[in-house]
Amino acid sequence: MWAFERANAQLREELAQLEERTRRRDILVDDEAVFEFYQRRIPPEVCSTKSFEGWWRKARLETPDLLTMTADALVDEDTPEIDEGVFPPSWQQGDQRLSLGYKFEPGAEDDGVTVQVPLALLARLSPHGFDWQVPGLRAELVTALIKSLPKNIRRNVVPAGDWAARLLAELPPQPGIVQTEPSDVPDQSFAATLAGLIQKLTYVPVTAVDFELDRVPAHLRPTFVVSDERGRTVAAGKELTELQRRLAPRARESVAKASAQIPTNAIERGGLTTWDFGELPRFLDTKIRGSQGENTIRGYPTLVDEGTSVAIRMMSTEAEQARALPRGVRRLLLLATPSPAAYVQQHLTGTEKLSLATSPYKNTAALFEDCLAAAVDDVLYRVRPDGQIFMKAEFDTIRDRVSGVVMDSMFETVGLVARILAAARIADKELKAATSMALLPAISDARGQLAGLIYPGFVSSTGLAQLRHLPRYLGGISARIPKLVDNPGRDRVWMNEAQAATARFETAGGTIPLQTDAAAHLVRARWMIEELRISLFAQELKAAESVSLQRIQKVLAV
């Protein structure tokens, strides 16, 4: 292939890609125009490969660019000028630069803009910013969003195209650099930004939820294509958060693999029974080079509880690191602390032994192990409320504190658990005595409450600070039953209020029992629900704080 052929083919490919980016089919001229280009430059007597080669060897010495096409030769003269800058080849988010692809094929799953995401970078990306689209498609996006509004709002912003131009003039040109660390305030979505601007200009109340995003054409939402280190596609889709959730294990593996390529970052190991290293790094960065330049893979080392030992593992997000670390630290503290379980068990009263035998744990040893874990957690979280320990010196300090209080703490914890189990047994007996079918909904509600308080692992999961309130919560169940029998209608009203609070809690992402990594506001709301039940069903036991459905809703509105 001659050099001019390669250059012309490359130019045609670039113009074809421009058509894909701009979603037009009127930029590149047809084959007839290409034929005419060559016909005007090649003499008519050149009519074979041999004659062309002879002619071109001489002609290119005088005019080397004679057969090299320019954009003017391949673009229709009536085509309006196109600003290629509004269809960029890459997308910047923080310190990451991702390649963009474009496709103009209505109906195809990847029609529109495609963001190429290396698997190792997936977890660090935020969905905020991508919803702004590239500048070249933003006007169409704004128009589509306006058309998706309810009629009572939409009639204030018509014609949609004219209003889109007006709104674009008011919007910032870019979403800005999006910070992706959990501690940062998340950027506002494009829909929320647009809603605020419409409200500012029209004085009509508008929120992001007023836009019916399902009515926005699919090509106006970017497609994310995740690829592994070999460039093979792992998954693709429109929802970045869903891809992050689904590919989280593989993303962690990819981050660990990339980090391990640098000797100083290869810190993963298992079988740890002591803290035998100085500092656990908060993060480790590894540079990789892609088609759009250098990117940074950030790994977050953490300690993972593996039962009889601990492992140092690399996580792909700071949130994953924070979830695993307290459990890993707890395991190392347990391994460093001789268990007083046997001594404590020998000094229990007969009543306590009988009560502990009714626990939901598989055996007494498992119960005592959980009590010890709760005692260790109590010290750990008093010193470091978030449980995030990275330095050996701080770990050693906590270990020494645990050793100093573990015996007394175990006696106190086991005694408390014995009282809790005794109260649970009384509550269960009261529930079994209420046999009327008319009371079944209330009995089922109370049994659900009991199951959410007493279950395998409840001691460490609840924590010593909250565990001290369980006898009162269980007493509330027992106190409810006689009142229920006396006035079922009144109980139904109270139950509806308690269940409404629970429903709002679950809608906000809460579970009963709580997940080990539940957010602080969910933990707070969980125990406020128990206090609400006391204030409704057993006022004589007195709630620990003023509580109502409205107060719980306020806590959940974080």
Sorted by where each begins, the domain ranges of the chain are: 3-73, 90-233
Q: What is the pLDDT of residue 537?
A: 97
Show the CA angle centred on residue 245, arms to residues 235 and 209, nearest 5°: 100
| Cis before 175? omega within 30 | no
pLDDT value of position 146 = 96
The predicted structure's pLDDT at residue 186: 42
Helix (H) or strand (E) holding 400: helix 392-433
- Per-residue confidence (pLDDT) for residue 176, from 0 to 100: 47
C-alpha 221: how far from its chain's center? 19
SS3 state at 268? coil
Exposed e or buried b per residue across 281-309, where buried means at least 16 C-beta atoms within 10 angstroms of its C-beta = beebebeeeeebeebebbbbbbbbbeeee
Closest CA to 233 of 219, 250, 217: 250
Question: Which residue is associated with the tokens 């001019």?
Answer: 4
pLDDT score of 177: 40
Count of CB atoms within 10 A of residue 339's CB? 15
Measure Cα distances from 254 to 66, 173, 258, 260 in Å: 51, 34, 6, 10
Query: Where is 256: in which H helix or E strand?
Result: helix 248-260
Please give the pLDDT value at position 294: 79
Residue labelled with tokens 């809703």 = 553
Rounded Cα distance between 161 and 167, Å, is 10
pLDDT of res. 187? 61
Report pLDDT for 29.
Answer: 67
| SS3 (DSSP) at 505 | helix
Q: How far is CA 119 from CA 126, 250, 252, 253, 397, in A?
A: 14, 8, 9, 9, 39
**Local confidence pLDDT in tens for the 558 residues of the chain:** 788 889 988 888 887 777 777 777 766 667 777 888 888 889 988 889 899 989 988 898 889 988 888 877 777 666 666 666 788 989 988 888 999 999 888 888 989 999 999 999 999 898 888 999 999 999 999 999 999 999 999 999 999 999 999 999 998 776 644 444 433 334 678 999 999 999 999 999 999 999 999 999 999 999 999 999 888 999 999 999 999 999 999 999 999 998 888 887 889 999 999 999 989 999 999 888 766 667 889 999 999 999 999 999 999 999 999 999 999 999 999 999 999 999 999 999 999 999 999 999 999 999 999 999 999 999 999 999 999 999 999 999 999 999 999 999 999 999 999 999 999 999 999 999 988 899 999 999 999 999 999 999 999 999 999 999 999 999 999 999 999 999 999 999 999 999 999 999 999 999 999 998 888 999 999 999 999 999 999 999 999 999 999 999 999 987
Report whether 74 contacts 29 (CB < 8 A): yes
Phi, psi of 273 (to 5 degrees): -120, -5
Give the Cα separation of 174 and 177 in Å (integer): 9
Q: 236: which residues sit within 8 A by CB, 6+ positions away?
A: 109, 110, 223, 224, 225, 226, 243
| Gap between the Cα atoms of 194 and 206, Å rounded | 9
Cis peptide before 159 (omega within 30 of 0): yes
